[in-house]
Each structure stands twice: as structure tokens, then as C-alpha cells.
Amino acid sequence: MKSFCKYLITGLIIAFTGGVVLAQNEAPVKVEKKAVVQKVTNLAPTPPMGWNSWNTFQTKISEQLVRDMADTYVASGMRDAGYKYLVLDDGWMAMERDKNGSLVADPQKFPNGMKAVADYVHSKGLKFGIYNCAGDKTCAGYPGTRGHEYEDARLYASWGVDFLKYDWCNTDSLNAREAYITMARALQATGRPILFSLCEWGNHQPWLWANGVGEMYRATGDITANFDKDKHMGTWTALSVMTIVDKMPAIRQYNGPNHWNDPDMLEVGNGMSLSEDRAHFSLWCMLAAPLMAGNDLRKMSAQSQSILTNKEAIAINQDALGVSAYRASAADSMEVWVKPLSNGNWAVCFLNRAGHAQNVNYVWTQHAQQDAQTRQAADFSKTTYKLHNVWEKKEAGTTKKAFRQSIAAHDAVLLTLTR
Ligand code: GLA
């Protein structure tokens, strides 16, 4: 039912709006520039970082789980690495609103109510996020917000909610842009700064209109923990890491401070190999994507932890310029991604998409860079940059010498280039 509503209904919307809504790969016609909601906050100058319950727990969430996760969040070094939000996704509510029309936390899962949960999360120095949906019901069938926008927003504010993920299931013929603007205004009216995370899967090209509505917007359907194989779920398809990555270059220009393209939450620690997790995280850092971990922090391996808390990788993601990488080249399953950083520096990611190891032999002086978006340029035959290998955590020479390394199957090398 969930997937039926999610993909079929949005498909119908596209079909019946007579081409107003363009397919994802069509050339954009018009970007809505005006800030449609008077934002008083600067909640996401760099990509938001946090943890979300969905990828591992789906609706099997509880107060105890939040407490455990908040404790581990701090103990594991995630908070110190920059992760800030702890977000409860779908499944936190009772199946019905109360007699006044208010949402109620599921009394079995959250016996002390949601304010107590928020208070606990805040006591750990973290921010608390919650989920709902623009439709009549959430994707998992819980009460949706349609028609209750202002009262739900007030309720969240009274609990101390700092982040709202707002989904798109069961929305019938609702207009996406208008629905998200209504909820953004409802959040705004509470007077509490609440980061607004749009989740309509990129169906209505939010990158063209959501700057000024929310701080981040899902650009794709749901991710699955697979490097390059999509997973067919019957009526809908969960997307592999590579399928999502391939959708991002076309919308690169719409990414920036307080309006981030969201390629979905991280699957690091959820079943891919170490190489694949490393490549996945490297790319999310390069894309300046929100970093929302989705693994069970209580059972996190040392390897997952070292990926998720790698400070240099995170610094690339959080760079103040806020620019997404471009794909400079792709040949024989070897790709080179390049991200302009502040102070004229760069990050470069060599991605081996092949199922076998490959050697990279990159002669910098033959690959001058020129980014059309930022106009940042580097001619390596004239200017020398110092290389730092982010995963090996060591210096790697300069751009005067070719960069040579073997890269394992489905793995990535991440370098910073400093003048
Ligand atoms: C949709 C969203 C997911 C998750 C689920 C919850 O599929 O895209 O990220 O929030 O709903 O039901």
C-alpha cells in the first residue's frame, strides 16, 4: 500500500499536470528564486548531520531505543565528529489522533510521551528530530499531517522538536510546492527554529523551488544498502548507492548553504563491504550531501565508526563553500570527482566502480580543473598543491608527481589538495 501510494500517485500527478512537472532529467525551465517563507534562521549553512532511525529500525522504535542511541551517539564520538540531530522517522505515533485532533505518541513505544524523549536527547547535547507526512497517512500508515499543519507544528514546538522530516505518501492530488510551503509557514509560525527536511523523492524537482522552503530536500527515491544493484520491492524500487550517485551531477548547481540536495540517508554499517561503505561515504562528502547515519550505533564496528567519524572526510563535506563535486571524468569504471573547497583548495575522489581492483595513474599536469559553477580553477602545471590521503590519513606528495595507487573493487580514494 505504502509503495502503491508513493509511486503510483506521484506518477499520476506528473501525468495529469500536462507537463508542468518535468521528468528528472529534463532541462529545468525556471528556478523559483524568491524566498517563499521568511526565514529568520540560518539552520544549515553546511550540510546537516545526524542519525535517523529508518534505515535500520523502520517502525520498531521506542523511548528505550532513543535513550540507547543518544548515549551511544555521544560515547562513540559521533557527536564530537559533528553529528547533531537524532531523528525519529515513521512509526512514532499512535494509529489515531486524540479526540481534539492532536497527534499522540504511541503509548507502548513512548510511555512517557515525546517531550520526555526530546528532553533526554537535548540532555546529551543533541538536537531532536521527528517525522510526518504531507498526506492523509504516513508511508507506514500512521496519521499524516494534511489539514493539521499548524496544530502539528505547534505540538512539535511544544515538545522541543528541532528538525522535521516531511514525507510525501498518500498525498492524492496535492500540489507539492504548495503543501511544503504550508508546512514551512506552520513551522515558522511556532517561533521555534525547526530545520525542515523535505522528502518527496525528487518527483517534483524540489531543487527548483525549495530553496527558502526547507533546508534540505530528497532528490531521489529510497536508498538500499547495495553498491550498484537496485532492489525491486514489488511496486517500487529501492535505489543502490551508484544509481543515486548518477542522479546527482544534473542537479549539482542547486546545492548550497541552507538548501541541500539530499541523496538519502547513509547506509554505512548496514551490510555493504568496507570498501563500499568507504566509497559511499566519500561520495556523500564530495556531494556536500546531508550526512544522516542510519546504522545501529550500539553495534557499530570499529570500521564503520572510523568511516563515519573521519574528521577530514567530514571537513570536505562541511566545507564553507558548500559546493557539490562534479564528475570530471569516467572511463573503464574509474571516475574522478572534483569538489572546489574554500581558500582555493580542492578535494578529489577516485572511484573504482569495477568489481575488481584497478590502478590509477593520474598525471595532474594533464588535468587542469575549471569549475563552471564557482569559476574556481587550477592549472597544475603552474600551481602545485600538497596532497593528503583522507582514508590513509597521511601526506601523499604533491601535484608535481603523478598519483599512482591501486584501488580495490568498489572502493574510493579521497584526497585533499592544498595550495
Ligand atoms: C519513505 C521515505 C523514507 C522513510 C519512509 C518511512 O519511504 O522516503 O525515507 O521515511 O517513507 O515510512
pLDDT in tens, 387-404: 999 999 999 999 999 999
Q: Which residues of the chain have pLDDT under 50?
A: 1-29
Amino acid (one-letter) located at 245:
V
Q: What is the pLDDT of residue 31?
A: 62
- 220 CA distance to ligand 1 middle (Å): 11
Residue of 10, 199, 262 best suited for mutating to test ligand 1, as the one with most atoms within 8 Å of CB: 199
Closest C-alpha to ligand 1, atom 1? 139
Closest C-alpha to ligand 1, atom 8? 222
- 330 CA distance to ligand 1 middle (Å): 32
Residue of 6, 53, 54 best suited for mutating to test ligand 1, as the one with most atoms within 8 Å of CB: 54
User: Cα dist. 37→134, 186, 200, 320, 371 in Å?
Assistant: 17, 10, 19, 24, 31
Q: What is the pLDDT of residue 159?
A: 98
Q: Are 340 and 371 in contact (CB under 8 A)?
A: yes
Q: Are 92 and 109 in contact (CB under 8 A)?
A: yes
CA distance linking residue 156 with residue 174, whole number of Å: 23
- Any idea what DSSP says for residue 300? -
- 123 CA distance to ligand 1 middle (Å): 27
Amino acid (one-letter) located at 262:
D
Closest C-alpha to ligand 1, atom 9? 222
Closest C-alpha to ligand 1, atom 5? 139
Q: Residue 188 CB: number of other CB atoms within 10 A?
A: 18
Q: What is the pLDDT of residue 30?
A: 59
Among the listed residues 222, 277, 319, 371, the single catalytic one is 222
Amino acid (one-letter) located at 324:
S
Dihedral, CA of residue 379, residue 383, residue 384 and residue 387, to nearest 10: -50
- 6 CA distance to ligand 1 middle (Å): 9
- 222 CA distance to ligand 1 middle (Å): 7
Ligand 1 pocket, Cβ-based, cut-off 6 angstroms: 54, 89-90, 138-140, 167, 199, 222
Q: What is the pLDDT of residue 34?
A: 57
H or E element that contains 122: helix 113-123
CA distance linking residue 408 with residue 276, whole number of Å: 10
Looking at ligand 1, which atom is closest to the CA of residue 264? 9
Residues 6+ apart with CB under 8 A from 363: 402
Among the listed residues 89, 106, 167, 411, the single catalytic one is 167
pTM for this model (two decimals): 0.92
Looking at ligand 1, which atom is closest to the CA of residue 165? 10
pLDDT digit string (tens) for 57-82?
Answer: 999 999 999 999 999 999 999 999 99
- 21 CA distance to ligand 1 middle (Å): 22
Residue of 139, 233, 236 best suited for mutating to test ligand 1, as the one with most atoms within 8 Å of CB: 139
Looking at ligand 1, which atom is closest to the CA of residue 265? 9
Clarify whether 167 is annotated catalytic: yes
